[in-house]
Amino acid sequence: MAENGRVFVRGISSEHFGLREFRQQQRAAPRVRTAGTVVDDESVGHSGGSEHSDEWWALGPGDESFLTQNLQVHFEELLPGGSNGGHAHQNEATFYILEGEGYDVHDGERYDWEQDDLVIVNTDSVHRHFNRSATKRALALAIKAKSSWMFLGLIQQGNSGPFSAKGYGPREDWSALLTPGGERKKTVVRKSDTSWETTRDGRVRIITSPERTDARTNSIDVYQQEIPVGSRSAKHWHMADEVLYVNSGTGASLHWDVEAEFAERYYAHVAEEPTRWEFGAGDVLYIPQNTVHQHVNTGTAPLVFVSGQNRLFKYLGYDAVKYVLDAPEFSGRTAVAAAR
């Protein structure tokens, strides 16, 4: 945590072994950030902005009340013909293109993108975003798991520029430390690279997941979902927390909090009644860790949203999903597990 600056990692402390009060405080925080909410306007501790771009945060570890540091969400706007500043960080980042068309330059290579593509900034990449249009803005939703790198001490980052430190030898190839073959994977997952599927969770378009080995990301799993008028998603339960950005439509998210009983083993107790969180287009919805949840379309048009999760949970042994109730569209179909 930086004093009087940007919070990269939030500390957790307690006078007691149990963290019940801390968890209750997090659970009590509002879970919907309405469209236009700015929790950080990039005035402190950021390096990627320019006079031709704007960046504002919707979710991160510096928030009060503190919700999560597994997922950080911000918006990146590029003015017509503009770009942000070239910079680098060790953590990956994913950018879902909400509006416009443009290109990125990563480590000297150009990657073009357009609306509904997902751009992946891979680990240890010097990168910059450019708007191709001379008349229209470009807007992207950034979802990243930056704190995962920070916890591991991978904190070397900064603006592009000449090397000035004294007492060090000549340049060496940093990429020698990266997993071989990563450079052959997709930096841009195009909308045409994906397809809609009817799964237990409903109609989804899986963009990145552990099963999708052609995409150059190891940290963020992204899918898009469409819920028809009068319908709902599955009621399901997974350990990872999750963030949703609402592309269009209106809805409500029902959350059944889960408490643990420590007997001869872990047991779960699910709340008898859910909390209800209303949302609309442009809103960001947060679903805490270890929460049973379900989304309902309450409007007169399809509800469409983009979901992001930190993949680290799956690597830590939490890669299962319990389906309490399948989506109506799945009834009678051969089982296709949603990529969670």
From the number of C-beta atoms within 10 Å of its C-beta (0-12, 13-18, 19+), residue 293 rates as buried
Compute the C-alpha angle 28/32/35, nearest 5°: 150
DSSP, collapsed to helix, strand or coil, labels residue 307 as strand
Work out whether strand 235-238 and strand 322-325 pair parallel, antiparallel, or are unpaired: antiparallel
CA distance 100 to 80: 9
CA distance 161 to 181: 27
Written as one string, the DSSP assignment of 197-221 is EEETTEEEEEEE-TT-TTBS-SSEE
Task: Determine phi and psi for 172, rounding to 5 degrees.
Answer: -130, 160
The whole-number average pLDDT for the span 305-319 is: 97
In the prediction, which pLDDT does 308 show? 98
Secondary structure element (H or E) that encloses residue 27, with its range: helix 20-28
Beta sheet of 284-287, edge-to-edge order: 32-33, 284-287, 242-248, 303-310, 220-227, 202-208, 196-199
- Given pLDDT bands bounded at 50, 70 and 90, which one contains residue 45? low
- The answer, yes or no, to whether residue 129 has pLDDT greater than 80, is yes
Give me the domains of the chain, ranges plus CATH numbers: 20-188 (2.60.120.10), 190-330 (2.60.120.10)
CB-neighbour burial class of residue 310 (10 A; exposed 0-12, middle 13-18, buried 19+): buried
Structure confidence by residue, pLDDT tens digits, 256-299: 999 999 999 999 999 999 999 999 999 999 999 999 999 999 99
Residue 247: partners with Cβ closer than 8 Å, 6 or more residues away: 98, 224, 281, 304, 305, 306
> What confidence category does residue 49 fall into, taking pLDDT thresholds of 50, 70 and 90?
low
pLDDT of residue 46: 63
Per-residue pLDDT of 139-176, as tens digits, reads: 999 999 999 999 999 999 998 888 899 999 999 999 99
DSSP string for 94-161: EEEEEE-EEEEEETTEEEEEETT-EEEE-TTEEEEEEE--SSS-EEEEEEE-HHHHHHTT----EES-
Please report which confidence band the pLDDT of residue 332 belongs to, taking 50, 70 and 90 as the band edges: low
Q: Say how far apart CA 225 and CA 208 lie, in whole Å.
A: 13
Tokens found for residue 198: 């009817």
In whole angstroms, what is the distance from residue 21 CA to residue 13 CA?
A: 11
Amino acid (one-letter) located at 96: Y
What is residue 20's predicted lDDT score, i.e. its pLDDT?
86
CB 272 within 8 A of CB 204: no
